[in-house]
C-alpha cells in the first residue's frame, strides 16, 4: 500500500478549509452529536432551517416502546407548507438563480429553471390539480421519468397539502396498479414517453394498462415529453401543458400541520407486498435540509449533482426537497452513465461546473471498468465532494472514485440511510471526517445506535451485529400507509423498543461503522431494493413451477445478483423457453429491474423437518461456498444439498 493510501484518509485541505455549516471538524461533530441527544436541538434546527406559518413549540412526542399505540410526532403544533421553504422564501434573494438544471438524455436538449420560474410552474400545476379536484389529504400518483415536471408535480401536490406517491418509471403496469389501489389515488400524473440512453419508455401506455377497468382514477394528467402519438381517453386524460397554461402563476399555499403526510413512497420488504412508507412535512424537511447542508458541507454557489431517480428516496431527499429547501442549484439527470459513452457523468460535471456529485457504487464500479481515460478527458476541477449511496462500496471502487474522479482533491461521503430514515443516518461529514474506505463512518447527530446480536443482547466495542436505532429522529417514516400494525411489526418487533434497520453492521476499534448488507430477505441489486418474496410470488404463479426460492449473491458490478432456485412440476421441462418465459413474467409483474441473473432448476429445496426452507444453505451455494454450508443433518432430506451443489457447479 502506497503512502497516500494510509488510513484513515484525511479530508483534503481545500475541502476542510472554509467549512460553512455546523459540523466543520471532528470537535464540532462531537459537540453537535452530544447536543442533538436532546430533542430541543431539533426544535432549534427546524425553526432556523424552515419557513413556518406558525412555529412549533414542542420537539418530539413518543418513543419506541409505545410506537404501536402512539406514533412518533415531531414539531406537532407547527404549521407550514413545505413549498414555501423550497420556493417562496428564495424569490427575493435568489429568484434568478438556477433552481433546476435539467440534463436531458440527448446532450444539449436540456434546460434550466430559475427559482422564479419554478415557483410559477408549481403554482400553475397546483392550480391545475385543484381544478381536477385535488385537495388537502388526497393522494396523487406520479409515474414519470427524470424531467423537471416530475419535481414540479411533487411540489404542486405539496402546495395543496396533497400527498404524492412517486412510482419509479421502471415499474410495470401491475406494480403501478397495486400502488394506485393501495393509496386510493384518484389522480395520476404521467408523461407520454420517458427517454433513457437513447431509447423511449412508453410511460403513458403502461399507465393505460395499469388503469384498465380501475374506475377509482378520475384524471390522468399527461406531460408530453417526446410528443409521440399516445392513446387518449376523453374525459379522463388531460394534457399537462394546456392544463397549466389555463392557470395563473400564483397560488396561495395551503398551510398544513407539521405531522401531515408529505408523501408516500413504496419500498420492498421481506414479505411479498411493497409497503407505502409515509413521511410527514415538518420532521422530514428539517432532516433533509440539515443533512444536505452538513453531510456535503454545502456552500453558497454549489451546483449539486445527484444522479439518482426521483422515483427513489434519494431523488426525493437530495434532488428535490433538501437542495431546494437550502436554495441550491440541483441537477435532474434523465440519461444513464454510459450514454452516449462512459464519459457522460464527467462531461455533465464539466459542463455544469458541478461541485458536489452524488451517485451509487454500482455506477462507480461499472465506470471504473471502462478505465481512467473517459474521466481524464474532462475537466473535473469544480468537484469538491463526492458522495455514494445505496449499497456498500468496496474499497477498490472507493479508491478509484477518490484517486481518479476526485484526483485526491475531493473528499468522499459514503452515506448510509434508507427509505425509512428519510435522510442520511450514518455518514462522513465532508468538512470533518477522515475516511476509511468501505466505512460510512459515524452516526449523524440525533442518531443513537446500537449493535445487537440475534438474541437481542447489546454488543459493545469492536463487534458485528444487527444495526438498530434507539431513539426517534425527525426524518423517520411515521407509519406504513393504512397499516400501522405492519410498520410496528416490521421495524420494532425484532428488537423491541428499537428501530431495526434490517442491515448488519461491523464496528471497528476506532468506532468506524461498516455496513455489511441486509440480514433479512431484501435484495439490493444495483442499489435497488427488491424483496425475495416478490420474485418468488411471481415465479410460483407460473404453472410449470412448483416451488421457488430466491437469494442474492455477490455480483461484481451490481453488488448483488439474483439467483432463483426452481423446483418444477412433475410434467414440466426445464427448457430455455421456460426460463425466458419466467424472465418475461418477472418483468411484467414487477418491472425491468427485476431480472434473475441465474436460474437453477433443482429437484427439491433444502427444508427442515418442519418444512422451513433453509435459505442460508441456498445462499452459500449461490456464493460458491460449498465448504461453508455446515451441518445439514437437521434437513428432512440431506441428500438434496449434494444434488443442488452438483447443479450449481455445472451452471
Pure H helices in 67-197: 82-86, 91-94, 115-131, 148-160, 173-183
Asked if 150 touches ligand WTA (CB under 6 A), the answer is: no
For 502, 519, 582, 618, the CA distances from 597, given in Å and listed in that order, are: 24, 21, 12, 15
Q: How far is CA 16 from the centre of its chain?
A: 28
Phi and psi angles of residue 521, each rounded to the nearest 5 degrees, phi first: -95, 45
Strand bridging mode 458-459 / 559-568: unpaired
For 102, 197, 243, 332, the CA distances from 171, given in Å and listed in that order, are: 23, 17, 26, 20
Among 292, 518, 558, 620, binds ligand WTA (CB under 6 A): 518
Among 128-136, 211-219, 306-314, 330-338, the segment contacting ligand WTA (CB under 6 A): 306-314
Asked if 515 touches ligand WTA (CB under 6 A), the answer is: yes
Most distant CA pair in the chain, distance: 74
What is the spatial distance between Cα 80 and Cα 137, in angstroms, rounded to a whole number? 14
For the bound state, the minimum distance from the C-beta of residue 511 to ligand WTA, rounded and expressed in Å, comes to 17
124 vs 528 by CB, closer to ligand WTA: 528
Q: What is the SS3 assignment for 482-498?
A: CCHHHHHHHHHCCCCCC
For the bound state, the minimum distance from the C-beta of residue 108 to ligand WTA, rounded and expressed in Å, comes to 31
Asked if 99 touches ligand WTA (CB under 6 A), the answer is: no
Strand bridging mode 598-601 / 559-568: parallel
How many residues touch ligand WTA under the rule CB under 6 A: the total is: 23
225 vs 424 by CB, closer to ligand WTA: 424
Q: Looking up cell 415536471, which residue turns up?
A: 149
Among 18-26, 408-416, 563-571, 635-643, the segment contacting ligand WTA (CB under 6 A): 408-416
For the bound state, the minimum distance from the C-beta of residue 549 to ligand WTA, rounded and expressed in Å, comes to 21
What is the spatial distance between Cα 411 and Cα 432, in angstroms, rounded to a whole number? 10
200 vs 270 by CB, closer to ligand WTA: 270
What is the spatial distance between Cα 191 and Cα 200, in angstroms, rounded to a whole number? 11
Paired with 264 in beta bridges are: 278
Among 329, 330, 419, 435, binds ligand WTA (CB under 6 A): 419
Q: Angle at which helices 615-622 and 639-650 pack, to 10 degrees?
A: 30
Nearest Cα residue to 466 out of 437, 441, 491, 488: 491
For the bound state, the minimum distance from the C-beta of residue 268 to ligand WTA, rounded and expressed in Å, comes to 8
Asked if 417 touches ligand WTA (CB under 6 A), the answer is: yes
Give the x/- contact pattern for ligand WTA in 429-448, rule: CB under 6 A: -----------x--------
By the 8 A CB rule, do 535 and 525 touch?
no
Phi and psi angles of residue 347, each rounded to the nearest 5 degrees, phi first: -65, -40
Asked if 532 touches ligand WTA (CB under 6 A), the answer is: no
Among 411, 524, 532, 560, binds ligand WTA (CB under 6 A): 524
| DSSP symbols for 391-403 | SPPPHHHHHHIII
Nearby residues of 548 by Cβ (< 8 Å), 6 or more positions away: 535, 536, 539, 540, 564, 565, 566, 567
Give the x/- contact pattern for ligand WTA in 248-287, rule: CB under 6 A: -------------------x--------------------
Asked if 521 touches ligand WTA (CB under 6 A), the answer is: no
Asked if 415 touches ligand WTA (CB under 6 A), the answer is: yes
For the bound state, the minimum distance from the C-beta of residue 415 to ligand WTA, rounded and expressed in Å, comes to 5
The H or E element containing residue 550 is strand 545-555
Asked if 390 touches ligand WTA (CB under 6 A), the answer is: yes
Instruction: Show the cell assigned to 347.
Output: 462531461
Asked if 292 touches ligand WTA (CB under 6 A), the answer is: no
40-59 residues in contact with ligand WTA (CB under 6 A) are none
257 vs 390 by CB, closer to ligand WTA: 390
Asked if 449 touches ligand WTA (CB under 6 A), the answer is: no
Asked if 416 touches ligand WTA (CB under 6 A), the answer is: yes
Among 211-219, 324-332, 365-373, 501-509, the segment contacting ligand WTA (CB under 6 A): 501-509
What is the spatial distance between Cα 164 and Cα 261, in angstroms, rounded to a whole number? 9
Among 6-14, 284-292, 307-315, 594-602, the segment contacting ligand WTA (CB under 6 A): 307-315
340 upstream amide cis, omega within 30 of 0: yes
362 vs 501 by CB, closer to ligand WTA: 501
297 vs 414 by CB, closer to ligand WTA: 414
Among 103, 237, 334, 414, binds ligand WTA (CB under 6 A): 414
For the bound state, the minimum distance from the C-beta of residue 450 to ligand WTA, rounded and expressed in Å, comes to 16
For the bound state, the minimum distance from the C-beta of residue 266 to ligand WTA, rounded and expressed in Å, comes to 11
Among 16, 295, 314, 433, binds ligand WTA (CB under 6 A): 314
For the bound state, the minimum distance from the C-beta of residue 145 to ligand WTA, rounded and expressed in Å, comes to 19
Residues belonging to the chain = 651
Site of interaction with ligand WTA (CB under 6 A): 267, 312-314, 389-392, 414-419, 440, 501-503, 515, 517-518, 524, 529
Amino acid at each position: 500500500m502506497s503512502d497516500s493510501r494510509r488510513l484513515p484518509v484525511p479530508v483534503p485541505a481545500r475541502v476542510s478549509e472554509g467549512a460553512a455549516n455546523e459540523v466543520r471538524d471532528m470537535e464540532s461533530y462531537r459537540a453537535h452529536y452530544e447536543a442533538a441527544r436532546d430533542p430541543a436541538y431539533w426544535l432549534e434546527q427546524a425553526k432556523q432551517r424552515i419557513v413556518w406559518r406558525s412555529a412549533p413549540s414542542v420537539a418530539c412526542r413518543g418513543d419506541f416502546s409505545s410506537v404501536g399505540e402512539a406514533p412518533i410526532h415531531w414539531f406537532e403544533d407547527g404549521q407550514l407548507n413545505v413549498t414555501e421553504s423550497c420556493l417562496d422564501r428564495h424569490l427575493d434573494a435568489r429568484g434568478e438563480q438556477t433552481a433546476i438544471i435539467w440534463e436531458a438524455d440527448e446532450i444539449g436538449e436540456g434546460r434550466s429553471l430559475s427559482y422564479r420560474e419554478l415557483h410559477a410552474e408549481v403554482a400553475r400545476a397546483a392550480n391545475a390539480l385543484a381544478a381536477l379536484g385535488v385537495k388537502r389529504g388526497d393522494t396523487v400518483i406520479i409515474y414519470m421519468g427524470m424531467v423537471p415536471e416530475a419535481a414540479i408535480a411533487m411540489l404542486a401536490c405539496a402546495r395543496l397539502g396533497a400527498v404524492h406517491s412517486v412510482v419509479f418509471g421502471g415499474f410495470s403496469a401491475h406494480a403501478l396498479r397495486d400502488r394506485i389501489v393501495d393509496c386510493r389515488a384518484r389522480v395520476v400524473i404521467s408523461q407520454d414517453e420517458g427517454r433513457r440512453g437513447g431509447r423511449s419508455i412508453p410511460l403513458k401506455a403502461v399507465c393505460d394498462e395499469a388503469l384498465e377497468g380501475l374506475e377509482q382514477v378520475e384524471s390522468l394528467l399527461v406531460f408530453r415529453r417526446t410528443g409521440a402519438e399516445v392513446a387518449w381517453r376523453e374525459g379522463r386524460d388531460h394534457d399537462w401543458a394546456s392544463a397549466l397554461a389555463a392557470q395563473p402563476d400564483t397560488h396561495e399555499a395551503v398551510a398544513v400541520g407539521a405531522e401531515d403526510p408529505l408523501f408516500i413512497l413504496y419500498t420492498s420488504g421481506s414479505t411479498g407486498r411493497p409497503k407505502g412508507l409515509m413521511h410527514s412535512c415538518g420532521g422530514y424537511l428539517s432532516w433533509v435540509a440539515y443533512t444536505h447542508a452538513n453531510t456535503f458541507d454545502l456552500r453558497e454557489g454549489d451546483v449539486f449533482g445527484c444522479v439518482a431517480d426521483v422515483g427513489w428516496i434519494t431523488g426525493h431527499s437530495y434532488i428535490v426537497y433538501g437542495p431546494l429547501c437550502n436554495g441550491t442549484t440541483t441537477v435532474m439527470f434523465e440519461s444513464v452513465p454510459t450514454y452516449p459513452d462512459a464519459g457522460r457523468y464527467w462531461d455533465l460535471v464539466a459542463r455544469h461546473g458541478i461541485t458536489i456529485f452524488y451517485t451509487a457504487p454500482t455506477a462507480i464500479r461499472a465506470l471504473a471498468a471502462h478505465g481512467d481515460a473517459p474521466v481524464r478527458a474532462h475537466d473535473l476541477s469544480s468537484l469538491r465532494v463526492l458522495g455514494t449511496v445505496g449499497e456498500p462500496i468496496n474499497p477498490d471502487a472507493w479508491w478509484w472514485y477518490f484517486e481518479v474522479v476526485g484526483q485526491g482533491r475531493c473528499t468522499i461521503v459514503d452515506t448510509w440511510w434508507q427509505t425509512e430514515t428519510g435522510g442520511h443516518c450514518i455518514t462522513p461529514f465532508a468538512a470533518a471526517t477522515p475516511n476509511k474506505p468501505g466505512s460510512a463512518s459515524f452516526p449523524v447527530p440525533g442518531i443513537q445506535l446500537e449493535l445487537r446480536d440475534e438474541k437481542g443482547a447489546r454488543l459493545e466495542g469492536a463487534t458485528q451485529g444487527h444495526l438498530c436505532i434507539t431513539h426517534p429522529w425527525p426524518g423517520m417514516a411515521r407509519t406504513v400507509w393504512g397499516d400501522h400494525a405492519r410498520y410496528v411489526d416490521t421495524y420494532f418487533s425484532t428488537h423491541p423498543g428499537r428501530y431495526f434497520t434490517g442491515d448488519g453492521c461491523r464496528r471497528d476499534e476506532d468506532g468506524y461503522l461498516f455496513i455489511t448488507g441486509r440480514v433479512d430477505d431484501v435484495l439490493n441489486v444495483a442499489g435497488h431494493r427488491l424483496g425475495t418474496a416478490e420474485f418468488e410470488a411471481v415465479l410460483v404463479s407460473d404453472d410449470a413451477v412448483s416451488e421457488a426460492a430466491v437469494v442474492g449473491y455477490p455480483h461484481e458490478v451490481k453488488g448483488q445478483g439474483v439467483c432463483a432456485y426452481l423446483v418444477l412440476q412433475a410434467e414440466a421441462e426445464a427448457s430455455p423457453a421456460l426460463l425466458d418465459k419466467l424472465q418475461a413474467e418477472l418483468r411484467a409483474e414487477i418491472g425491468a429491474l427485476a431480472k434473475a441473473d441465474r436460474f437453477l432448476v433443482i429437484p427439491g429445496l433444502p427444508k427442515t423437518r418442519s418444512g422451513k426452507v433453509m435459505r442460508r444453505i441456498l445462499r452459500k451455494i449461490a456464493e460458491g461456498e460449498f465448504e461453508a454450508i455446515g451441518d445439514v443433518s437437521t434437513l428432512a432430506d440431506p441428500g438434496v444439498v449434494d444434488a443442488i451443489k452438483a447443479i450449481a457447479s455445472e451452471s
